[in-house]
Amino acid sequence: MYKNRKTEPALAPIGVFDSGVGGLTVVREIMRQTPSERIVYFGDTARVPYGSKSKNTILRYSRQIIRFLRTQNVKAIVVACNTASALALPDIQKELDIPIIGVVQPGAKVAAETTRQKKVGIIGTEATVNSAIYTHMIQAVDPDIQVISRACPLFTPLVEEGWLKDPVTEQVAARYLDTFKESDIDTLILGCTHYPLLRSLIGRLMGNSVQLVNPAYETASALKNLIEQEDLCNPIPPQLQNDMYQFYVSDAADKFKQFANSILPYDIETTKQINIEEY
């Protein structure tokens, strides 16, 4: 399947990208579940957010980012952005000769396996929800599962404002999640990388009977399986964290570092800025 696999050494890093900082919730899970792997992360902070943009634009951006990640000799790529996974991955997958996975399929698969009432809810960006890709992937597992979705465009700005535990955020969440009140779902996918940061609020509003699925966690598990199957695991244990993990952004990095240091288990010392439009 992956023609050049044998020429990509297992020592090479995993490439991970996102529209901005949100994908760091996926990076955190990859660090936990595959601690021997090197990571090159790219956050498209100059063009963030993707969630309100069109498929063609997101596809063009994703292709540029993958061209950049290939210059870093990555052995596999994780699309750590729900919107790019939903809109760009199906096309990009066909164009690559290294393994690539997104966050949508692992999340959809676990949700389909989790639901007992056969009713799954999804929250995400407008672009993700309108793509209906979660619905397609869940119904590919079991066509009888009913899927109810709701775009929550204010969640990301609220998280970035830092209002995680705030009466305003609670009211916004209550209004968005009201969509699921009558529908009797028992499983809800947090279909945007920022939403796990609102996990306790969303869990409280949905109640104990609803299981929350965090695609970041499921994606890191799927990546672990994938590199094991493909014989791509790094045999060398980690040395210094700052050598193992490289962070690139397309816009100045102060805010990125701040957010990263609040999410990751260690403090990032340097981030590098590149002009992604040149790729």
Binding positions for its own copies, rule: CB under 8 A: 45-48, 52-54, 56-57, 60, 153-154, 157-158, 160-161, 167-168, 171-172, 175, 250-252, 255, 275, 277
| Nearer to its own copies (CB atom), residue 5 or residue 53 | 53
User: What is d(CA 66, CA 58) in angstroms, rounded to the nearest whole number?
Assistant: 12
Give me the least distance between CB of 277 and its own copies, in Å please.
5
User: What is d(CA 230, CA 217) in angstroms, rounded to the nearest whole number?
Assistant: 20
Tell me the two tokens of residue 207.
């109640």
Give me the least distance between CB of 275 and its own copies, in Å please.
8
Q: Which of 76, 79, 81, 172 is catalytic?
A: 81
Cα angle at 155 between 119 and 77, to 5 degrees? Answer: 75
Give me the least distance between CB of 167 and its own copies, in Å please.
7
Give me the least distance between CB of 271 and its own copies, in Å please.
13
Concerning whether 233 is annotated as a catalytic residue, the answer is: no
| Nearer to its own copies (CB atom), residue 141 or residue 274 | 274
Q: Which of 192, 197, 198, 216 is catalytic?
A: 192
Q: What is the DSSP string of 178-211?
A: GGGTTTT-SEEEEESTTGGGGHHHHHHHH-TTSE
Closest by CA position to 221, among listed 33, 13, 8: 33
Dihedral (CA of 145, 52, 203, 35) sign: positive
Q: Give yes or no for a cis peptide into 49 (omega within 30° of 0).
A: yes
| Nearer to its own copies (CB atom), residue 2 or residue 279 | 279
| Nearer to its own copies (CB atom), residue 128 or residue 250 | 250
Concerning whether 152 is annotated as a catalytic residue, the answer is: no
> Active-site residues: which are they?
81, 192
